[in-house]
Amino acid sequence: MAYLIDRRLQGKNKSAVNRERFLRRYKAQIKDAVGRAIKGRSITDIENGEKVSIPVKDVNEPSFGHAHGGVWEVVNPGNQEYQKGDQIARPKGGGGSGRGKAGNSDQTTEDDFIFELSREEFMNYFFEDLELPNLVKTQLTATTDFKTQRAGYTVSGTPSNIHVLRSLRGALGRRIAVGGPSRKALAEAEMELENLLENEVPLDDFRVVELKKKIHHLHTRLLAIPFIDPFDLRYSNRVKVPKPMTQAVMFCIMDVSGSMDEQRKDTAKRFFILLYLFLKRVYDKIDVVFIRHHTAAAEVDEHEFFHSRESGGTVVSSALNLLNKIIDERYGAGQWNSYVAQASDGDNWDNDSVLCRQLLVNTIMPKVQYYTYVEITDGPPQNLWEQYAQVPDHHRHFAMQKIVTPADIYPVFRELFKKQPK
């Protein structure tokens, strides 16, 4: 009989297969947790992981047991309290999920199983509802890379980074500087000794003996100068720098009239998140401005933008006027790349839609890099759609599409941001 022993070292990701199997098994609970996280999170905080809680009853593993079958009578040793036929009352307790009121017994309960999704896993579940292709998933979840570039030389570093030429050049300069006076004195002493010997001065003459001692001392002094000293070592200095990026501002405009229900708002939020992730790949600094409107427009924070219960009629021009004011006051002078995303169900006052088109064509579009309008409805086009359809005739960087379900978001997003012909 032969035995095979696998002595290969296990990698750091040895439990990755088990984790993937676990995620597949509890996919429904995880998707619910991701959906709740998307509703409660900020757009700028969407890329972090998430803690997921799974009830204990769902993580129990199946087990096999032996069935007794038939009628069994068992006598347990040490039973001094109960007789045959006694009925034992069920003990009182608080339950088995770790929640609720405390019981009056010594029963122990188990808490829910909690684990944390990584950033990539969370983003994959978010993109799954949007029906993104795998290529786009990889691009949007990739972390920012830094490039390494040379930044001169430094006096400290690792041996592998020693710059030999620069170190030898420094050593040569040091030897020349340190030994300069000694070499000059040596040359003068040798010339004086040569003159004395040419004049036939005896070798035992005091002057000759002193010059020979001085020459020997100067030679010894020059030889004592080290060829290379730790002070001479120079190391190549390399630093990591981010790729140069500019700054951008993203304007989120949403209709919060009575016809915009929670489902439409959730769809709009997913579209805003996808636009933010797209801009995050291009720009290092991004400001996000939220403008909500019904009959009047207001700049609000993100929580009020998505969760405020205030509603009313629809006057879209109020939001466009506020947008134009914010651009002029805070994001003008050509220092910001402005992107606008507007979400609505298409309802608007008839006369106001004409005013909206005029504001876009004459005032707003020359100030922004791109303007996207998505209409979240499954009905026929409204008057706002008909007026907005005339804007691309004047400005090519205006795009508009319809969204019915969250699965339509990415195809619409890809259509909105496709490369334009030159």
Residue 104 per-residue DSSP state: S
249-283, pLDDT tens digit by residue? 899 999 888 778 888 888 888 888 888 888 877 77
Q: CA 344, 345, 351 angle in degrees (round to 5)?
A: 85
- Mean of the per-residue pLDDT values for the chain? 77
* Residues 280-288, mean pLDDT to the nearest whole number: 80
Indicate the pTM of the whole model. Answer: 0.53
More confident residue, 410 or 15: 410
4-25, pLDDT tens digit by residue? 766 655 555 556 566 677 777 7
More confident residue, 123 or 130: 123
Residue 71 per-residue DSSP state: -
Burial state string for 356-379 with b = 16 or more CB within 10 A and e = fewer than 16: bbebbbeebbebbebbbbbbbbee
- Alpha helices (H) along 155-301: 164-198, 206-223, 262-280
320-339, pLDDT tens digit by residue? 999 999 999 888 766 788 88
186-195, pLDDT tens digit by residue? 888 888 888 8
Q: What are phi and psi of 352, to 5 degrees?
A: -75, -30
Counting residues of the chain whose pLDDT is more than 90, the rounded percentage is 10
Q: Judging by DSSP bridges, how do beta strands 297-300 and 285-293 pair with one another?
A: antiparallel
